Each structure stands twice: as structure tokens, then as C-alpha cells.
Amino acid sequence: MKDAFLLVYRNMKERKARSALTVLGIMVGIGAVIALMSVGYGMQESITGQLVEMADVIMVMPMRMELGSIGAFGSFTDRDQEAVRRIGGIKDAVAMRGEMEEVEYKGEKFMVHVIGTDPKDVGALFGAIVKPEEGRYSKANDHKTCTIGYSIANDYFDDEIGVNDRLTINGSKFRVVGVLEKQGGFRSETDSEIYVTARDSVSILDNEDISEIFVRVRNIGEAEEIATEIEERIDDNHKLDDFTSAMTMGSAIEQMESIFGILQAVLIAIASISLIVAAMGIMNTILMSVMERTHEIGVMKAIGAKNRNILFLFLLEAGVVSAIGGVCGCIFGVIGAHAISFGIHTAFDVEIAAIVKPEVLLGAVVVAMLVGILSGLYPARKASKMSPVEAVRYE
């Protein structure tokens, strides 16, 4: 066995350039598959991962305009919030009073989504996910304070806004008490919002309507059932059908996952084409090797090599070439995956950490060897079946 490897090694050394090119072919094929799969997993994880953190959430929004208030979206009332709270299995139901308001800072004006929530509900709303980067949330006793999203603080206005700066919302001065961490991705909306207390929202901004109810359930398994019940209760309150839409995050995650499954399959199909090209490369290399060494094969047979000895030697060569290609492909793939996520990060400012799974690497090496040995089979058989006299005569 050691000598078989020696024979293969000596041959590869003799044909360095060609062996290297074949290894390169496999390496690129395998590397492409690994890189694309890893980036795919990373993408899936970065999006569904954010959603999974919120798997116990149900978003309740009015779906239809209410009769009699033509031109305005429907809204909920405090009674709706109470009704939702009474449903079993619900941990929290946070009312959000959101409205587009004119926000002014140092003479610049923008329309911004300003949301009023009860300070005691902030924990339920953001949990451990959204934290102030600086400062804090508004407190129950605060008067005219606000917490602003990351983009409001840094991107909207020419000057950066920090804690204790003052904004004018709809004509009233508000003091900034906190700036939230950058969210990005699926939660990037939060970055462009301003949070005030429910009391200020009602009394100062004159915004009594509840635009959204944010529900957290105790048991994720019950989420769908509870969502249906929420819709029924609120619809009853308003004596309307299909007035309320309650969407669980679970169903959003499922949708995302199926989309990513398809995306992944397409990427892998593309990468597989390079693998097929690599397989033809191996077949070509081994075939060339067989042709060039026809004389040597004849000599080996003349001194007593059986067909299977010859077959084994050439399959071993194919296996060694493809194993080296596979391992190099793993290295190349891992580097490639990180390069791609870095590229995405710089180009789109989206954080996608490539996820390299060990089973993917292992599978890639196995596939490389399988492809190598299968494509080596034809030339190896050809070599083993040569007639010794004719092969010896061949120069």
C-alpha cells in the first residue's frame, strides 16, 4: 500500500503542472459549493435567527378601513387591548400608538414614525433584543421625553443627536433620554422610529388611536390558536368581519425558510456545474496519464501485474488527486465564504456571517473523492485491459 502511494506520488511529481491543474479544478468546484452553501446558511440564519428571537410574538394590526372613517386606516381602542389581555396564554399585550409626525432638529424637518407606549410595557415590547446604546427608555413619570432609533440619531439629520439633545415633535419640545442600538436586517424599521410615553402620545401629540397591539404568548405552540382568538375578539368589539389581522412570527419564519431552501438549491445547482467540469478534468488527467504510461503499464503486466493491480494504481491516483483537491477546496471554500460575507458587508452594509458546517466540509471531501474515483474508473479500466505485448511495444 505504501508503495502504491509511492508510485502514485512519483507519477504526480513527474507531471507536476498537470496534477496541480487537476487539483485546482476540483478545488474550485468543491470550494464554490462550500462557499455558496456556507453563505446561504449564514443568510438564512441572520434572517430567521432574528425572527426566532421573536417567535413568541403576535403582531395585531387593523387590516381594513373602519366604516364611517373613510380615508383613514382603522385603529384599535383601549377596550380591544383589554379584550386581548383577557385571552388565556397571553403574557403581554402592548398597545402602540404610532403616527407619522413632523420632527424638527436644528431647523431640519422630517416626517418620522413616532410611537407611544406605556413605559411599563417597554420590557415586554423589546425584551432583551433592543437595548439603548446610550441613555435609557422613557420612565412613567417622565414628561416630554423620547428614545430614538439609531438612524434617527445618526443618519437623518446633519448633526448627530445624542442624549439630552432636544427635538421638536409636532411643535412640542422633547428631550432625548436614550438612543437605541442599531438593529438592521429584519428589524431595521426600529432604527427609524422615535418612542415616547403613551401619556405624552395622547395628551401632547393628540394621538389616541392604537395602531398596533404587540402580543407575547407564553407557549409558542399555542400562538396560531391565540392569533385566531385575538382576531375574533377584536372583530366582535367592532362588529366587523376580517377587521383584525394577527400574524404570528412562526408563520413568517416558515415562509422565510422555504424561500431560503429554494435559494440554496439554486446556488448548489450552479456550484455543481463547476464540479462536473472538475470531474471531466480528472477523467482527462487520468486518461492522459494512462496514454503516457502505456509502455510502463505493459512492463508492469509483463513482470506479473494483474489487471486489478493496474486498476488499483490508477484509481488510487484519481483518489489521491481528488482528495487533495477536496481538502484544498475546503480551505478555499471557507476563505471564499468569509470573503463573500465581507463583500456583502462592505457593499450592502448587511451583516451575514458565513456558517461553515463541519458536515458540509466532510461531505465535500467525500463527494470530491467519489467524483474523482468515478471519473478515474473509465481510464483505469482502459489501462488495466491493455495487452502486455502491445503496451510494451508502444513507445
Closest contact distance (angstroms) between CB of 21 and other proteins is: 19
- Rounded Cα–Cα distance for residues 246 and 58 (Å): 6
Candidates 140, 339, 366, 389; binder of other proteins (CB under 8 A) is 389
| Identity of the residue, 255 or 309, whose beta carbon is nearer to other proteins in the bound complex | 309
| Identity of the residue, 88 or 304, whose beta carbon is nearer to other proteins in the bound complex | 304
DSSP letter assigned to residue 394: -
DSSP letter assigned to residue 74: -
- Rounded Cα–Cα distance for residues 219 and 329 (Å): 44
Residue 196 phi, psi dihedral angles, 5° rounding: -125, 175
CA 72 to chain CA centroid, Å, is: 37
- Rounded Cα–Cα distance for residues 296 and 291 (Å): 10
Considering only the stretches 20-28, 58-66, 298-306, 314-322, report the one whose residues sit in contact with other proteins under the rule CB under 8 A: 298-306
Closest contact distance (angstroms) between CB of 291 and other proteins is: 16
Told to check if 3 binds other proteins by CB under 8 A, we report yes
Tell me, residue by residue from 59 to 98, as one string, x for binding to other proteins by CB under 8 A and - for no binding: ----------------------------------------
| Identity of the residue, 5 or 342, whose beta carbon is nearer to other proteins in the bound complex | 5
Closest contact distance (angstroms) between CB of 376 and other proteins is: 19
| Identity of the residue, 302 or 335, whose beta carbon is nearer to other proteins in the bound complex | 302
| Identity of the residue, 79 or 295, whose beta carbon is nearer to other proteins in the bound complex | 295
Considering only the stretches 1-9, 37-45, 184-192, 212-220, report the one whose residues sit in contact with other proteins under the rule CB under 8 A: 1-9
Beta strands 90-105 and 108-117 are antiparallel
DSSP 343-360: HHHHHH---------HHH
Told to check if 143 binds other proteins by CB under 8 A, we report no
Q: Where are the alpha helices (DSSP H) in 89-134?
A: 122-126
Query: Which three three-digit cell numbers place residue 19?
Result: 496534477
Candidates 167, 296, 320, 355; binder of other proteins (CB under 8 A) is 296
DSSP letter assigned to residue 56: T
Candidates 79, 91, 295, 345; binder of other proteins (CB under 8 A) is 295
Tell me, residue by residue from 300 to 329, as one string, x for binding to other proteins by CB under 8 A and - for no binding: xxxxxxxx-x--------------------
Closest contact distance (angstroms) between CB of 328 and other proteins is: 24
Q: Which of 219, 220, 218, 215 is nearest to 230 (CA)?
A: 215
Say how many residues touch other proteins, by CB under 8 A: 25
Considering only the stretches 6-14, 92-100, 151-159, 340-348, report the one whose residues sit in contact with other proteins under the rule CB under 8 A: 6-14
- Of 368-387, binders to other proteins (CB under 8 A) are 387
| Identity of the residue, 159 or 390, whose beta carbon is nearer to other proteins in the bound complex | 390
Told to check if 6 binds other proteins by CB under 8 A, we report yes
Contact yes or no for 163/134 (Cβ under 8 A): yes
- Residue 102 vs residues 71, 107, 111: alpha-carbon distances, Å: 20, 12, 5
Closest contact distance (angstroms) between CB of 391 and other proteins is: 9
- Of 13-52, binders to other proteins (CB under 8 A) are 13-14
Residue 107 phi, psi dihedral angles, 5° rounding: 90, -20
- Residue 20 vs residues 15, 23, 210, 284, 375: alpha-carbon distances, Å: 8, 5, 68, 13, 17
Considering only the stretches 10-18, 60-68, 240-248, 352-360, report the one whose residues sit in contact with other proteins under the rule CB under 8 A: 10-18
Q: Could you report how far apart the first and last alpha carbons of the chain are, in Å? A: 28
- Of 159-188, binders to other proteins (CB under 8 A) are none
What are the DSSP E strand ranges found in the chain? 57-62, 90-105, 108-117, 132-135, 145-148, 166-169, 172-180, 193-197, 212-217, 244-248
Told to check if 287 binds other proteins by CB under 8 A, we report no
Can you give the binding site for other proteins, defined by CB under 8 A? 2-4, 6-7, 10-11, 13-14, 295-296, 299-307, 309, 387-389, 392
